[in-house]
Amino acid sequence: MTTYGSFPGTRPRRLRTTPAMRRMVAETRLHPADLILPAFVREGVSEPVPIAAMPGVVQHTRDSLKKAAAEAVAAGVSGIMLFGVPEEEKKDALGTPGTDPDGILQVAIRDVRAEVGDDLLVMSDLCLDETTDHGHCGVLDEQGRVDNDATLERYAEMAQVQADAGAHVVGPSGMMDGQIGVVRDALDQIGREDVAILAYTAKYASAFYGPFREAVASSLKGDRKTYQQDPANVRESMRELALDLEEGADMVMVKPAGPYLDILARVADAVDVPVAAYQISGEYSMIEAAAEKGWIDRDRAILETLTGIKRAGARNILTYWATEVAQKLG
CB-CB contact of 80 with 69 (8 Å): yes
The rounded distance, in Å, linking the Cα atoms of 125 and 82 is 6
Mean pLDDT across the stretch 45-71? 96
Specify which residues 49 forms β-bridges with.
59
> Can you give the pLDDT at residue 219?
62
Q: How confident is the model at residue 136 (pLDDT cuts 50, 70, 90)?
A: confident
pLDDT digits 0-9 by tens, 60-106: 999 999 999 999 999 999 999 999 999 988 999 899 999 999 999 99
Interaxial angle between packed helices 298-311 and 281-292, expressed in degrees from 0 to 180 and rounded to the nearest 10: 150
Contact present, 256 and 283 (Cβ < 8 Å): yes
166/187 Cα distance (integer angstroms): 12
| Among the listed residues 322, 312, 319, 316, the one whose alpha carbon sits nearest the alpha carbon of residue 27 | 312
SS3 track for 45-58: CCCCEECCCCCCCE
Report the interhelical angle of 179-189 vs 148-165 (nearest 10°). 40
DSSP 230: P
Q: Which residues are part of the catalytic machinery?
A: 203, 255
With 0.85 as the threshold, say if the pTM is over it: yes
Give the contacts of 31 (CB within 8 A, at least 6 positions apart): 76, 329
Angle at 285 between CA 284 and CA 286, to 5 degrees: 95
- Averaged pLDDT for residues 102-130: 96
Q: What is the pLDDT of residues 193-236, one digit of tens each?
A: 999 999 999 999 998 887 877 666 666 666 777 888 899 999 99
SS (H, E, C) 122-148: EEEEECCCCCECCCCCCCECCCCCECH
Look at residue 222 in the predicted model and tell me its pLDDT: 65
- pLDDT (0 to 100) of residue 8: 85
